[in-house]
Amino acid sequence: MSKSILFDSTLCIGCGACRDACKERNGLPPGEEKELNYNAVNVIKDYTINGDTVFVRKFCMHCNDPSCVSVCPVGAFEKTPIGAVTYNKDKCMGCRYCMIACPFQIPRYEWFNAFPVVKKCDMCYDRISSGKLTACVEACPTGASTFGDRDELIKVAHEKMASSDKKMYLYGEKEVGGTATLILTDIEPAKLGFPSNLPNEPLPMLTWNILSKIPSFVLFGGTLLSGIWWITSRRKEVEEFEKNNKK
């Protein structure tokens, strides 16, 4: 059964234990970054909402049907049966299509390495494959991050939503076909920096459903135009990523 991480922002105190455990496990230098980069694949961001501080984890969403996997021309990304989306640096050719395709703007690039690679959370694939918890979940002192079967965590989240006197949201249950990272919060996800305009259909499936209705003699042209539209619409975002990560 596919595994997931459920993050409950109402329980997070912003201590950074998950971030530090992630850095130690991945051999990354210590630091308190607020934005994902090649030295931080799990960060804690704080937002002031109605005078209150809300802490939110940002890391790979591990989509059920990942667009990074579908666009990678060399198979460097893989969606594993256990739920994690992994990355093989030995296969990577540095095209950075994954950065353009990811709807959550997760992958980061090593700009200053002589042999640069992409950096992202892999859900501690080596640990969970052997029956252990992810490093971040194991380190969390408040239970804000939990690990388990996706269906069970969704059930737990809905039970809390039903019993809460506030309106709560479960982000990742349906977005782009569902994700293995689930965000439970009593704040609208868009106010916490999560994209709000995503379809419920997996992005790769949505693309192929459209292409399947196009006559074969215009398939190439349609695909080309769709690709141009997608790249153009994301160009500013990617340029911003590159500018920030080169600083």
Q: What is the pTM of this model?
A: 0.83
Per-residue model confidence (pLDDT) at position 237: 58
Query: For the chain, what is the mean pLDDT?
Result: 88
DSSP 3-state assignment of 118? strand
What would the mean pLDDT of 206-213 be, rounded to a whole number? 50
- 46 neighbors 14 (Cβ within 8 angstroms): yes
pLDDT in tens, 216-240: 444 444 444 454 445 555 555 555 6
Reference 6, options 164, 129, 197, 168; nearest CA is: 168
Beta strands in the chain (DSSP E): 3-8, 43-49, 52-58, 77-79, 85-87, 108-109, 118-119, 145-149, 169-171, 181-185
What would the mean pLDDT of 171-183 be, rounded to a whole number? 97
Provide the domain limits for residue 180.
3-245
Per-residue model confidence (pLDDT) at position 78: 97
Per-residue model confidence (pLDDT) at position 242: 59
What would the mean pLDDT of 191-203 be, rounded to a whole number? 92
Per-residue model confidence (pLDDT) at position 131: 96
Q: Round to the nearest angstrom and report the end-to-end CA distance of the chain.
A: 42
CATH number at residue 64: 3.30.70.20
- Six-digit token pair at 149? 């079967």
SS (H, E, C) 66-90: CHHHHHCCCCCEEECCCCCEEECCC
Count of structural domains, the chain: 1
